Amino acid sequence: MAGAASARWLPAQRRGYAASMQRTVRELLATGEPSFSFEFFPPKTDDGWNQLWRAIRELEPLQPAFVDVTYGAGGTTRDRTVELVRRIAEETSLTVVAHLTCVSATEAEILEVIDELAAAGIRNILALRGDMPGDPSAAFRPTAGGLDYAEDLVRLLKASGDFCVGVAAFPEKHREAPDIDTDTKFLAQKCAAGADFAVTQLFFHVADYVALVERLRGLGCDVPVIPGVMPVTNVRQILNISRLSGAAFPPDVARRLHAVEDNPEAVRAIGVEVAAQLCRQLLAAGAPGIHFYTLNRSTATREIYESLHADLA
Ligand SMILES: Cc1cc2nc3c(=O)[nH]c(=O)nc-3n(C[C@H](O)[C@H](O)[C@H](O)COP(=O)(O)OP(=O)(O)OC[C@H]3O[C@@H](n4cnc5c(N)ncnc54)[C@H](O)[C@@H]3O)c2cc1C
């Protein structure tokens, strides 16, 4: 592991989190209420920003437990994440989680970002290794003087201050892991390093989530695992989802979607129905909440959320 202890050299007063009004995901999960959360990514264009802020404003009244913002490698992309989480923390009532990765950065550079996030009042960080820029399937090459694994970043964050730290989990195993048990062992290590919660990659079969949680509990790890769900709203997503996430897309659902592919409303209705059904099964199986991959749009997520909320009322 790269030397996480060096974070202690940073002056604590430079970190702004102590004054923040933001709640931690740890506190929110401890209430026992199902936690609904929405993921956004920082857009690259003005149109993208307008669409994102429309989605944020439309989803805000649903009072999600938290929203989170993905992180990309490189200067401008990195700055966009910091800017977006700062604005959400300052301009909305939402609790925000900033993603952070180990990609293309030395430990000192990662610490600078941690400092910026703390100064923006951010208390929740999802600690990720990340993938190689431009080709997520390429073998990961750590930066000299950087961190090798998400576990190292968890340690760095915990040594840097009182952050609530989340990590990624993979119900169908991470694509580089030799087998599912080895992958779960590394997830348990991230939790032993101090992670407070985990959020899963998207998936489509409740049994994969239940089995992951059972394996984790078998290793003595009791960290809450929030399942990630993405409603499919157009047929093109089917291929992309499997390619990018490695999740096995259910063939029966693919057949239903393809049968109505010329009718966007019908495709969306099926996507919403299938995702809502998965959410119901996950909550019934004891999931602490649902994490929605929104792709910066609000409609499908709002429909699913409202239908789940009606069940819970
Ligand atoms: C909820 C979620 C959010 C995400 N957000 C982003 C984002 O904002 N930006 C982004 O770039 N990517 C994001 N990703 C993608 C993620 O960065 C990639 O999937 C990456 O390949 C793995 O990240 P990780 O944090 O799980 O890595 P790690 O936990 O470090 O695992 C990487 C691989 O190494 C293995 N491993 C782990 N620890 C060890 C160890 N100590 N020794 C040996 N092997 C080990 C694991 O089994 C796995 O195969 C996200 C993924 C998820 C599920």
151 lines ligand 1 (CB under 6 A): yes
For ligand 1, say whether the CB of 177 is within 6 Å of any of its atoms.
Answer: yes
List, in sequence order, every residue forming a beta bridge with 293; answer none if it has no partner.
39
Q: Which residues are catalytic?
A: 39
Q: What is the pLDDT of residues 79-131, one digit of tens each?
A: 999 999 999 999 999 999 999 999 999 999 999 999 999 999 999 999 999 99
- How high is the pLDDT of residue 57? 96
Pick the residue whose CA is nearest to atom 47 on ligand 1. 183
As a whole number of angstroms, the distance between CA 118 and CA 26 comes to: 17
37 lines ligand 1 (CB under 6 A): no
Strands 289-293 and 35-40: parallel
- CB distance 176 to ligand 1 below 6 Å: yes
Residue 177's region, left for phi above 0, alpha for psi from -120 to 50, else beta, is beta
| Residue-level pLDDT at 311 | 81
Stated pTM of the model:
0.93
CA of residue 101 to ligand 1 center, whole Å: 9
Per-residue pLDDT tens digits for 7-20: 333 333 333 333 45
| pLDDT single digits (tens) 33-58 | 999 999 999 999 999 999 999 999 99
Crossing angle of helices 299-312 and 264-284, rounded to 10°: 40
Decide if 200 contacts 171 (C-beta within 8 A): yes
3-class DSSP assignment, residue 26: helix
**Count of CB atoms within 10 A of residue 268's CB?**
19
Residue 165 Cα to ligand 1 midpoint, Å, equals: 14
CA dist 188 → 109, 111, 159, 273 (Å): 27, 24, 19, 33
Closest CA to 172 of 187, 154, 189: 187
Question: 129 CA distance to ligand 1 centroid (A)?
Answer: 5
For the chain, list the domains and their CATH numbers.
4-230+290-296 (3.20.20.220)
Coil, helix or strand at residue 201: strand
